Structure 1
Amino acid sequence: MTTFEEAYELTGHGRFNHLALFTNGFILLYATTECLGLGYVLNTADCDLHVSIGERGAISAATFIGVVAPAIVWGYLGDKYGRRKTMLPATVLAVLFSFLSSLSTNFWSMFLLRIITGTLISASCATAYVYLGELTSPSRRAASIAWGSAFIAGSYLAMPLFAWILLPLKFSVGDGTLKIRPWRVLMWAYTIWGSMSCVGMAILPESPSYLLATKGGPETLAVLAKIYSWNQKKTAAEYPIKEILCPAINIPKFKESLARMKLMLKPPLLRCVVISHISNFMVFMQSNAFYVWLPHIVDELLRHGPKKPGLSMCQIMNDIHNNIEMVLDECVPAEMDTGIYPIASCVGIITAILYAAIAFGMKRGWAKAIMYCKMVFKLVLFPYSRY
């Protein structure tokens, strides 16, 4: 008989934890790729979808709309029904709807399917961190979550590499409005990470912490014994703990959860909520919004920049889009300048290095200092970004 934390530590660290890390890491990689990978897709899909620059922006935003809108509901469902029971079916459906969106032939079908895809991805975006942490012993939890975040950095490298391999290919299969071109295959390739995470979740059990909070000790012990057998290469019967002291805790109902959220809108939490939300909004607006348009911006600069020496990036982009005249009936599928791929890959490498540095600093308690330096750095450099 012992406490839950001590019982968890006795399971050790090994194969089970590696599977949990890669499964949840692939979930995070998949979510990031689905949100930001359209920057490469839409740059070559204009003719097939018959979309303008503004409609391309709306399609890129659609996935984010789906991610943000139902986030609170998914969080509650994860608490009520379990992490795995919420994430696994949602991720399977996200892969399915992502595939269906790749078969879109117009703006509205793509826009609506991307919203649905984003809504399903939302179930796993934040829950993956919780699930990963709860599948790891307390002493290794922080390091495990930091390693999971590294998969997000990997997505910034995987997206341009996949695009580098597939988009330069020249093929068109099919007749009529639906033609299979490289950009559709690229969207299929992006779903690989989601499919791999589904396989991992099918093998992994429910979170022991969730089981303890909702169903008590016996079912929790069964999962801990399974983790023990995986890590120690022994049978589950050899797990030395037979009873856990921690009592079960009932999960609040949805109305009770909303009532508790009201506390964030009142002092003393209100000040912290406002500061943290504004800070996160600014960070994600500048980073994710820029990366969505990075392939288009760099592609246009590589094509037209040398012809317009002395002009800033904003002036070049303004001139280009003021002179665009697209005749859809005679549209020629766009081909991206191959110079964009090494540039985007370098951005991915730098992002990975920065993620590693941030994870290193977080482990040493530098969270506030890192956030402050990041915001100051962005504000100082932002006025010069147009050059």
Structure 2
Amino acid sequence: MVVKIARVPFEEALNMTGFGKFNLLVFMLCSSIIAAMVFELYSVSYLVPASACELNTTSTQQGLMAGLPLIGVITTSHIWGYLADTRGRKKMLCISMIIGFVAGSSAALAPNWIVLSILKFLSSAAVSGSSALALALIGECTPAIRRSTMLLLTTSALLSSTGVMAILSIPILPMKFSYYIPILNIHFNSWRLLNVIFSLPCALNAIGSMCCYESPKYLLSVGEDEKALEILQGIFKHNSGKSADLYQVESIVLDEDNANKKAKGFWEVLAEQTLPLFKPPLLKSTLLLGFMFILVFICINSFLVWLPFMVDAFMSSVEKGYSGMTMCEMIRVARNETDLEETNSTCSMNRVAMTMVFGICIVLAVLNVVASGVISIIGKRRLFIGIQVMAGVSSILLNVSSMWVVSALLFIAVLSDVINFGFLSAFAVDLYPTFVKAKAICLMVMLGRGSTILGINVLKSLIETNCEAAFYLFGGITLAGGLFGFLLPPDGNLFKQKTKI
């Protein structure tokens, strides 16, 4: 006879389900959802230049096409957070992935650049909240002792998928097939095929989301106590291989205050969901994490966007035997030689640059796995600060290094700041209560990606006019992020702070 315990706090009840097969399946699903989001958001990096010949797009039009997905993310992230906190994580993930697939795959049949831009805007808007929703889901289904590690490992999925996109483009884009579709007056060719392939993960993840459990913590926060208990019993059964009847919890209570939303109108509910983020005791967390997301995103996302361009210039100089030059000098030499060649523009991607992008992304993914393995020993805050300082110092030192091997290692160290995406997400999951968690994460990501628009343009302008200033500026911002990291709560205080909310 199993002794049942009544009114068990949720975190304790979740810990009693153990850690096993179910948690790994949820991790795989959430990582795949994040990869699908990356495929859709960053597909324009490959589709815009590859479609230029067929669609006859100008440089200005290509810039608009590349920027619209990011605008779609910024304008809809907060809405997805609201929907997830009021309608459920699972349901919104299904809808997000379905719309993302329909709009994204339809872009393969776009007759002109305007239709292509609109469809990519819609698909990006659809998947804009999927990353935050996936992080909320995995955080609310994973015992506290493993939560930070699992959240951090999702960054490896993000990095790996970025590299996979580059490697997929190498064999597909050079294909010469072309099938005419009279009704649309288009030729279905290689870049359209690549677009469909980039959209497929959304369809697969829509099916996966339908088969997944809803977050038990969300159900508990909306008064569905019995359903939450049933799901916890199911998690226990999957993890332990034992009967659900052996789960010792009889009833559970949410170990945090829950703002019960009684407003009837959409805008009233949205206000009630948003205002708590800007009132004590959440105000401090919102201001600090919002500022930290901006500092990290504005630097690392800007470098990731221009990664193929910078790597191509760097490798071009190395292959030509240039020595005793800093990275900025290599970039300038490669750029000047390209300007002088006056070659006709082609719509194929540089194979060497794409292969190097893949290699760098895999190295960063491995470093992220290493960081996730030592997080329990060193702690989130210490690792976050250490990575920020290392990346900032490396950016500054790039201006004085004249050995290409050292410059390459320093550049990878700069890019390693991407690991802190996972740390910031883990802090957000820990610091916010369930009824605003998804919205808070979406808001943080929206602020970060909004700053990226500025960072992308500033970095590109500085690389062309004053490259050294670019590394000094962004290195300084990264270092500032490390200093502000001391304001983040130590790991041992996270749970205490959350239970007081």
- Normalised TM-score (structure 1): 0.84
8 A contact 1:35–1:63 mirrored in 2: yes
How many residues were matched structurally? 378
Deviates more, 1:136-145 or 1:313-322: 313-322
Structure 2: state its 5+ residue gaps.
1-5, 262-268, 402-462, 469-501
- What is the deviation of 1:167? 1.9
Q: Could you tell me which residue of structure 2 aligns to residue 23 of structure 1?
A: 29
- Look up the equivalent residue of 2:392 and give its one-letter code: M
Q: Could you tell me which residue of structure 2 aligns to residue 349 of structure 1?
A: 362
Q: Could you tell me which residue of structure 1 aligns to residue 258 of structure 2?
A: 249
1:92 partnered with 2:105: no
1:186-237 deviations in whole A, cap 9, x for unaligned?
1211223222322221111110110111124211111111112222223434
Q: Could you tell me which residue of structure 2 aligns to residue 135 of structure 1?
A: 141
1:78 partnered with 2:92: no
Q: 1:54 to 1:317 in 2, by over 3 A?
A: farther
Distance (Å, rounded) in 2 between the aligned partners of 1:282 and 1:315 = 27
Distance (Å, rounded) in 1 between the aligned partners of 2:109 and 2:335 = 30
Deviates more, 1:251-260 or 1:196-205: 251-260
Distance (Å, rounded) in 2 between the aligned partners of 1:321 and 1:58 = 23
1:52 partnered with 2:70: no
Distance (Å, rounded) in 1 between the aligned partners of 2:87 and 2:97 = 16
RMSD: 3.4
Q: Could you tell me which residue of structure 2 aligns to residue 329 of structure 1?
A: none
Distance (Å, rounded) in 2 between the aligned partners of 1:268 and 1:246 = 23
8 A contact 2:178–2:187 mirrored in 1: yes
Q: 1:17 to 1:270 in 2, by over 3 A?
A: closer
- Look up the equivalent residue of 1:378 and give its one-letter code: S
Distance (Å, rounded) in 1 between the aligned partners of 2:333 and 2:51 = 25
1:313 partnered with 2:331: yes
- Matched residue SS, 1:51: coil
Q: Could you tell me which residue of structure 2 aligns to residue 208 of structure 1?
A: 216
8 A contact 1:44–1:334 mirrored in 2: yes
Query: Which among 369, 384, 387 is matched to residue 386 of structure 2?
Result: 369
Q: Could you tell me which residue of structure 2 aligns to residue 225 of structure 1?
A: 233
Deviates more, 1:188-197 or 1:358-367: 358-367
1:115-138 deviations in whole A, cap 9, x for unaligned?
111111112121211111112122
Q: Could you tell me which residue of structure 2 aligns to residue 191 of structure 1?
A: 199
Q: Could you tell me which residue of structure 2 aligns to residue 172 of structure 1?
A: 178
Q: Could you tell me which residue of structure 1 aligns to residue 353 of structure 2?
A: 340
1:290 partnered with 2:290: no
8 A contact 2:160–2:365 mirrored in 1: yes
8 A contact 2:166–2:357 mirrored in 1: yes
- Look up the equivalent residue of 1:352 and give its one-letter code: A
Q: 1:103 to 1:325 in 2, by over 3 A?
A: farther
Distance (Å, rounded) in 2 between the aligned partners of 1:359 and 1:9 = 20
- Look up the equivalent residue of 1:313 and give its one-letter code: I
- What is the deviation of 1:296? 9.7
1:8-67 deviations in whole A, cap 9, x for unaligned?
222222221121011100011111222223222233211222212332222122111111
Q: Could you tell me which residue of structure 1 aligns to residue 127 of structure 2?
A: 121
8 A contact 2:177–2:189 mirrored in 1: yes
Deviates more, 1:231-240 or 1:18-27: 231-240
8 A contact 1:162–1:189 mirrored in 2: no
Q: 1:241 to 1:191 in 2, by over 3 A?
A: same
Q: 1:340 to 1:121 in 2, by over 3 A?
A: same
8 A contact 2:313–2:335 mirrored in 1: no
Q: 1:234 to 1:269 in 2, by over 3 A?
A: closer
Aligned-pair identity in percent equals: 20
